Amino acid sequence: MSTVDELIGEIESLLAAGAVSYDSSSQPCDVYEGFIFSLIVATASRHGATVTYKNVHGAPTAHLVFRTGPGHLHSTIQPFTHAVIEFDGAPALEVHLGVYVTGSSRVLHECDILVLPAEEADLSREQGVAPRGSQAVLIVECKYYVSNFGIGLARNFEGLRADIRPQSELFVSNTRSSSIARYLDARNRECELDVVPNSPQAGYLQAAIRKAFKSYLSKHAPSTVI
């Protein structure tokens, strides 16, 4: 089981961006989401993308402030940070923590981590509405538990995915559950369990993230190889 300090150390190493808003008193589940965010950013960078960090006003920042509760992407109350990912020849993407999206039912859903086109994020900010879940390139459900967790989490994720209808989705946890693995595998959902710093599973997760980026690039910049 990774400690909060270990997770923070890995986040700082992966992002290489300056100070982060987590500290030793932060909730492990919040910091774990930041760790998975960092793996997404590091995967993009490793495969040739340019990565920058911006606050809610669109200004570049080296002090990364992460959400610790759900909120609206377009909110400017706090200077929360998002990452901007730019692959050669493709429209920019943004990576956000803990923001709402609108599902096909017009119901709001929280995404632990959301990767979406910057154009859709701009529309959200301009109109003051939640982005459309159907435009998501990737959503990630992050679960940090110190003991076993139940099948209900996988069922909730399946319902979330069905209403959001993203291009790609991932269920990620720091621990394992054979029932959740079987449930999601039977539905062809991407699932990586036991994902902690420096684990083989963290590498497997990055391979799944790369797959999502490849799918995006195949539609928008087919000549870009990652």
* Residues 172-219 pLDDT 10s: 999 988 898 899 999 989 899 999 999 999 999 999 999 999 999 999
Q: What is the DSSP letter of 201?
A: H
Give which of 189, 145, 143, 183 is closest to 170, Cα–Cα: 189
Task: Give the start-to-end residue ranges of the domains of the chain.
Answer: 4-220
pLDDT of residue 1: 62
Per-residue pLDDT, averaged over 70-82, amounts to: 96
pLDDT at 149: 73
> Which whole number is the average pLDDT over 89-102?
98
Of residues 155 and 2, which shows the higher confidence score?
155
pTM of the model: 0.95
Query: 138 or 154: whose pLDDT is higher?
Result: 138
Residue 146 is predicted with a pLDDT of 73
Predicted confidence at residue 145, as pLDDT, reads 85
Q: What SS3 state is found at 86?
A: strand
Task: Report whether pLDDT(22) > 80.
Answer: yes
Question: Are 60 and 32 a contacting pair, CB within 8 Å?
Answer: no
> What CA–CA distance (Å, rounded) separates 74 from 144?
27
> Quick one: average pLDDT of 141-166?
87
Question: Dihedral angle at the C-alpha atoms of 82, 162, 35, 175, nearest 10 degrees?
Answer: 170
Give residue 42's pLDDT.
97
Q: Which of 72, 99, 14 is nearest to 6 (CA)?
A: 14
Mean pLDDT, rounded, of the chain: 94
Predicted pLDDT at 220: 95
Q: Across residues 128-147, what is the average pLDDT?
A: 93
Assign residue 183 a region (left: φ > 0; alpha: ψ between -120 and 50; beta: otherwise).
alpha
Question: Residue 64 is encoded by which pair of tokens?
Answer: 């990364």
- The SS3 of residue 74 is coil
